[in-house]
């Protein structure tokens, strides 16, 4: 690939840890121990205690039922030290996976930070996963320990735990005080009894967290990230959100999402800000009240959440306009220009779009302060990142950087939070790295001023409320039902969630297409996959469209689904007219 513009930023990315002038070099100097060790939990918590900030609030937790709790940096250091001791006493070895399926409750943060202190790999899982996806991830992730609420355990794993031979311990966060289920331990009781352990002396490249993501043709794959990723979180926490000890930062992401690990745990704490955590799900009235009453200064949410708030109207928003917000940003799906300016009108700050993925580990493109902003665009590359737009001719990438040429977004490998590999297979032929570049799978355009515009995915991935759903996993599960002969799953446009999974199925002989079977299949899917991944509709068709080699043509199914959607034209991803916000 031609390298016409590998300027200073590219050099910085390649030379990330050694060059003191690069943002990563400075961050490494700030966070690493004199011995060269780097541990995310120390960077987030213990170092602030050592610097005299132990009494400041690290975590302000708001419970579903109006209960609340402030946890200082000193208390969080103690709590995570206890969690590390519990895990160590159970025999967790360095690099072992600790899977965590919890809502946003204090034990989630103890589990994440405690896992890092113990030298383990933190692997959060969506609590909306059904038993099938949960089991697949525990297997592929080779989870040693699972920390889960008693209620989720009973519903999703208790009946089919056998066979998960690698899973040595299940630690329950208990909501009822009946007898402890067989083969489980009580996480809170263990925490209360433990002596805090010191953090393991992990190295920058030791594995630290694992997030499952979906491919289009294969099984779920886990993207593994090293402790070094915290350098990106510290830097982007400052450059995108301007975070410091004076901030109250709120990230609304589900704990299963990489957004929660990166910006709902690591970035704000590493920057010494107070992390605000709301246990409840989205509820615009409650959210406005929180922004206002908790004096949130920086907020990170999703386009789906913003659209939900827009539905409640600007009048409600304006009644809370007297807030402390300095910056509001969004991630996960395209943010249309209208939503950007709605933020300005309703909350007094525009929503800034940011772009990244599980694999990038942290924000790499953003409408960041000082970089200029362009509503409807994802923004520009951050310092230290080098991005290009390429098209593949005969398999070889050719640059397509000219203004408004659509191509795949590729990033020069080597920024600190880049994933170090997949557990499970990479389903892209030849993998996603070529000639030192990482291929993101997103189609974009870059305008003459360096702003990137999202066009679509290069593959069949479905984006539902920001969640990435691989059609293959849904199809494979539906195939387990005796009625289904063949099935293809695609995303149908949805005004709120952007896309929802829908299935097109042909039936085996002896089964009759009709409402009764449709209802049965939908409920089978919800039961096994969980509500978020299950198809919302099932259409019966005599035969699925296929290529000559027999591969299901999801493209054709997609066109059918789009044809049936209400008003695709008003979907928020359509390129809005560029207009410029005053920079600052
Ligand atoms: C995919 C990554 C980033 C953490 C959460 C999602 C899409 C992400 C944007 C944006 C348009 C976006 C891309 C990307 N995406 N941000 N600002 N505009 N699309 O992580 O589940 O790994 O999904 O989300 O398609 O590849 P993920």
Per run of 10 residues, the mean pLDDT along the chain (length 584 residues) is 36 40 89 96 98 98 95 98 98 98 98 98 96 94 97 94 93 93 97 98 98 81 97 98 98 96 98 98 92 96 91 82 91 90 88 96 93 90 94 72 83 96 78 91 92 90 89 91 94 91 95 95 94 94 86 88 61 31 28
Q: Which of 252, 258, 319 is nearest to 285 (CA)?
A: 319
Pocket of ligand 1 (CB under 6 A): 213, 257-259, 331-334, 353-358, 378, 440-442, 454, 457, 468
- Please report, to the nearest 10 degrees, the dihedral formed by the alpha carbons of residues 203, 206, 209, 211 taken in order: 150
The length of the chain, given as a count of residues: 584
Query: Smallest Cα–Cα separation from 64: which of 262, 320, 248, 290?
Result: 290
| Token digits of residue 277 | 């955590």
pLDDT the model gives residue 396: 67
CA of 353 to the centre of ligand 1 (A): 11
Strand runs labelled E in 325-379: 327-330, 351-355, 365-366
Enter the tokens of residue 38: 């780097």
The rounded distance, in Å, linking the Cα atoms of 192 and 367 is 44
Residue 384 to residues 8, 20, 199: CA-CA distances in angstroms?
8, 12, 29
Nearest Cα residue to atom 24 of ligand 1 = 332
Beta bridge mates, 330: 301, 353
Nearest atom in ligand 1 to 354's CA:
17
d(CA 76, CA 114): 10
C-alpha span between 328 and 132 (Å, rounded): 36
Q: What angle do CA 445, 447, 451 make, to 5 degrees?
A: 85
Residue nearest to atom 14 of ligand 1 (CA): 357
* DSSP SS3 for 426: coil
Cβ-based burial of 65 (10 A; exposed 0-12, middle 13-18, buried ≥19): exposed
562: which strand partners?
Answer: none
Dihedral (Cα; 193, 197, 199, 201), 10-degree rounding: -140
pLDDT, tens only, 554-570: 889 998 898 876 543 33
* DSSP class of 569: G
Candidate of 301, 332, 334, 417 to mutate for ligand 1, largest count of ligand atoms within 8 Å of Cβ:
332
Q: How far is the CA of 333 from the centre of ligand 1 (A)?
A: 6
Q: Determine the atom of ligand 1 nearest the C-alpha atom of 378.
A: 17
Ligand 1 pocket check: which of 263, 307, 333, 409 to mutate, most ligand atoms within 8 Å of Cβ? Answer: 333
Between helices 131-140 and 515-529, what is the axis angle to 10°? Answer: 40
Asked whether 140 and 162 are in contact (CB, 8 A), the reply is: no
Nearest CA to ligand 1 atom 2: 357
List the one residue out of 140, 112, 157, 143 whose CA is nearest residue 530: 157
> Which DSSP letter does residue 136 get?
H
Atom of ligand 1 nearest to the CA of 262: 4
For every residue of 36-79, DSSP letters joined together read S---HHIIIIIHHIIIIITTSEEEEEE-TTS-EEEEEHHHHHHH
3-state secondary structure of 579: coil
CA of 241 to the centre of ligand 1 (A): 18
**pLDDT of amino acid 395:** 62
Distance (Å, rounded) from C-alpha 421 to C-alpha 423?
7
460 Cα–ligand 1 center, Å: 14
**Element of type H or E holding 9:** helix 8-14
Q: What is the pLDDT of residue 320?
A: 82
Beta bridge partners, 60, equal: 70, 276
Cα of 465 to ligand 1 centre, how many Å? 11
What separation in Å is there between the alpha carbon of 536 and the centre of ligand 1? Answer: 22
DSSP string of 430-451, one letter each residue = T-SEETTEEEEEEEEEE-TTS-
Instruction: Quote the ligand 1 centre to 232 CA distance (angstroms).
Output: 17
Supply 184's token pair: 């489980």
3-state class (DSSP) for residue 116 = helix
Beta bridge partners of 502: 490, 537
- Cα–Cα distance measured from residue 3 to residue 173, given in angstroms and rounded to the nearest whole number: 52
How far away, in angstroms, is 331 Cα from ligand 1 center?
Answer: 6
């Amino acid at each position: 690939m031609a390298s016409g513009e590998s300027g200073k930023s590219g050099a910085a990315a390649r030379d990330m840890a050694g060059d003191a002038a690069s943002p990563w070099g400075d961050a490494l100097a700030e966070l690493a121990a004199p011995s060269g060790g780097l541990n995310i939990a120390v960077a987030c918590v213990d170092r602030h205690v050592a610097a005299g900030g132990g009494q400041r609030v690290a975590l302000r937790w708001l419970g579903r039922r109006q209960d609340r709790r402030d946890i200082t940096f000193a208390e969080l250091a103690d709590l995570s030290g206890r969690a590390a001791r519990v895990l160590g006493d159970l025999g967790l070895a360095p690099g072992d996976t600790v899977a965590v399926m919890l809502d946003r409750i204090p034990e989630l943060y103890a589990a994440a930070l405690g896992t890092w202190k113990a030298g383990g790999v933190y692997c959060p899982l969506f609590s909306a996963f059904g038993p099938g996806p949960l089991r697949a991830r525990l297997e592929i992730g080779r989870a040693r320990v699972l920390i889960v609420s008693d209620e989720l355990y009973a519903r999703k794993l208790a009946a089919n735990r056998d066979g998960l031979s690698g899973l040595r311990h299940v630690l329950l966060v208990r909501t009822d005080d009946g007898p402890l289920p067989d083969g489980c331990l009580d996480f809170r009781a263990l925490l209360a009894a433990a002596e805090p352990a010191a953090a393991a002396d992990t190295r920058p490249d030791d594995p630290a967290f694992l997030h499952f993501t979906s491919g289009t043709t294969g099984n779920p794959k886990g993207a593994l990230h090293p402790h070094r990723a915290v350098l990106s979180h510290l830097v982007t926490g400052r450059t995108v959100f301007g975070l410091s000890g004076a901030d109250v930062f709120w990230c609304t992401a589900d704990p299963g999402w990489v957004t929660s690990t990166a910006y709902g745990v690591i970035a704000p704490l590493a920057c010494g800000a107070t992390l605000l955590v709301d246990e409840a799900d989205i509820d615009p009235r409650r959210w406005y009240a929180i922004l206002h009453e908790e004096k949130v200064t920086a907020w990170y949410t999703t386009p789906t959440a913003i659209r939900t708030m827009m539905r409640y109207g600007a009048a409600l928003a304006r009644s809370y306009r007297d807030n402390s917000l300095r910056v509001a940003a969004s991630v996960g799906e395209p943010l249309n220009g209208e939503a950007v300016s709605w933020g300005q009108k309703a909350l007094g700050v525009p929503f800034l779009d940011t772009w990244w993925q599980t694999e990038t580990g942290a924000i790499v493109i953003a409408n960041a302060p000082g970089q200029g902003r362009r509503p409807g665009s994802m923004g520009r590359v951050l310092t230290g990142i080098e991005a290009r737009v390429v098209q593949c001719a005969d398999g070889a990438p050719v640059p397509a950087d000219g203004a408004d040429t659509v191509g795949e977004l590729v990033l020069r490998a080597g920024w600190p939070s880049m994933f170090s590999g997949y557990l499970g297979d990479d389903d892209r032929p030849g993998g996603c790295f070529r000639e030192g570049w990482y291929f993101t799978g997103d189609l974009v355009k870059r305008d003459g001023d360096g702003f990137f515009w999202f066009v679509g995915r290069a593959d069949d991935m479905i984006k539902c409320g920001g969640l990435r759903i691989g059609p293959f996993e849904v199809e494979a599960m539906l195939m387990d039902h005796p009625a289904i002969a063949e099935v293809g799953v695609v995303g149908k446009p949805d005004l709120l969630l952007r896309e929802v999974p829908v299935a097109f199925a042909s039936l085996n002989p002896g089964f009759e297409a009709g409402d009764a079977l449709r209802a049965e299949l939908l409920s089978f899917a919800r039961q096994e996959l969980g509500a978020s991944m299950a198809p919302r509709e099932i259409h019966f068709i005599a035969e699925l469209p296929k290529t000559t080699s027999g591969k299901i043509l999801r493209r054709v199914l997609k066109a059918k689904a789009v044809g049936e959607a209400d008003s695709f034209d008003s979907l928020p991803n359509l390129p809005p007219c560029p207009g410029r916000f005053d920079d600052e």
